[in-house]
A and B are shown apart, each in its own frame.
Chain A
Amino acid sequence: NAGVTQTPKFQVLKTGQSMTLQCAQDMNHEYMSWYRQDPGMGLRLIHYSVGAGITDQGEVPNGYNVSRSTTEDFPLRLLSAAPSQTSVYFCASSYRSRGSSGANVLTFGAGSRLTVL
């Protein structure tokens, strides 16, 4: 049981390049999400998905695309990288907490550090 796996761990891009951050979970979680973490700003939600074939925008979706073709995978695509997208990205997935019906506790991946030059 690997949990939430993110790849790559580190990436350096030039402005204008595109890339995909991969996220896979093996816990059969329905809910998956992408966050970015910037100093002093906590975690900000980029996109999320409540199940295969369903995605929606979070707080900061501009410049990013997602898709959810399977329950296990939720890739995040940067279409044309900009220096403002330099950040640490976290993928997270959810099960339903036993003690609080309907509240989804997040399991996080290890993070992907992206630098855009």
Chain B
Amino acid sequence: ILNVEQSPQSLHVQEGDSTNFTCSFPSSNFYALHWYRWETAKSPEALFVMTLNGDEKKKGRISATLNTKEGYSYLYIKGSQPEDSATYLCAASSYGNKLVFGAGTILRVKS
């Protein structure tokens, strides 16, 4: 079973700060890496799915990169806004598409 780790556990930043989080996963048998955004009292929503080494995805002020050889992905938020406050989950799947989640990074953006 994959072991997916996220750091930091939580992060408090000021509005306008840029920030990034890390997701680590075993590089052997890797298939796909997902990022989800989870707001309080809502369901997780997909941000990105990446499969290839060197993949970079961007959605507005949020972007992600993937290194499958060393087993990590970074999520970047440029110019954080209070509405970016959420828990950011990453999940990795091996062949067979069984998705295993990390514990998440809680982001709080103060205005």
Contacts and interface: CB of A to CB of B under 8 A. Distances in A.
Interface of A: 31, 33, 35, 40-45, 48, 50, 56, 58-59, 90, 94, 97, 99-111
Contacts of B36: 106
Contact of B43 (A33, A50, A109): A109
B53 to A, nearest CB: 13
A100 B32 contact: yes
A35 B89 CA distance: 13
Contacts, number: 68
Nearest to A57: B98
Interface string B27-67: 00001101010000011111001110000010000000000
- Which interface residue of B32, B43, B89 has the most chain A CB atoms within 10 A? B43
Contacts of B46: 105-107
Contacts of B93: 103-104
Interface in B8-35: 31-32, 34
Given A90-B43, A109-B43, A111-B43, A102 B51 contact: yes
B3 to A, nearest CB: 10
B109 interface: no
A67 to B, nearest CB: 18
B86 interface: no
B101 A102 contact: no
Main SS class of interface, B: strand
A94 B36 CA distance: 14
A50 B103 contact: no
A106 B44 CA distance: 9
A48 B98 CA distance: 8
A10 to B, nearest CB: 13
A104 B99 contact: yes
Nearest to A33: B99
A109 B89 CA distance: 16
B21 to A, nearest CB: 13
A43 B101 CA distance: 6
Nearest to A109: B43
17 contacts: A31-B97, A42-B6, A42-B89, A42-B102, A43-B101, A45-B98, A45-B101, A56-B98, A59-B100, A90-B43, A90-B44, A99-B49, A99-B57, A102-B31, A103-B31, A103-B34, A107-B46
